[in-house]
Amino acid sequence: MSKYHKAAWDDESRQRQHEVIMKHKPWLKSTGAKTVEGKAISKMNALKTDPHLYALMKEMNSIMKQQKEIFNTINNTCL
C-alpha cells in the first residue's frame, strides 16, 4: 500500500469515531464565515476542483443579468 492510500476503516474504528463525534458535536460549534473576506473564501470552496468553473459561472451570471434587463425592458414597453 502506498503512503498516499489509506486503508478503509474497520467497523471498530468507525464506531469509535462515531462516538467521538457524537460526544463533541462539532456541528453545534460551527458558525461559518463572518467577515466579507471569509465569506469570499468560503464561497470559493466549492470551486477548488475546477478553477475554470468560476470564470464560466461569472460569465453565465453576466449573461443572465443582461437577459433579465432585456426582459424587463420588453415587459415595461408592453404594459
Count of positions (residues) in the chain: 79
pTM beyond 0.75? no
Which one is predicted more confidently, 45 or 79?
45
pLDDT score for 66: 96
Q: Is the pLDDT of residue 48 over 80?
A: no
Segments forming the whole domain that contains residue 72: 11-78
Residue written as grid cell 459561472: 57
The answer to whether the Cα torsion of 64, 59, 56, 48 is positive or negative is: negative
The residue with greater pLDDT, 49 or 15, is 15
Residue 1 belongs to some domain of the structure: no
Q: How many domains does the chain have?
A: 1
Torsion of CA 53, 55, 58, 60, to 10 degrees: -70
* pLDDT for residue 54: 78
**pLDDT tens digits, residue range 8-39?**
889 999 999 999 999 999 989 888 888 999 98
Residue 26 lies in a domain: yes
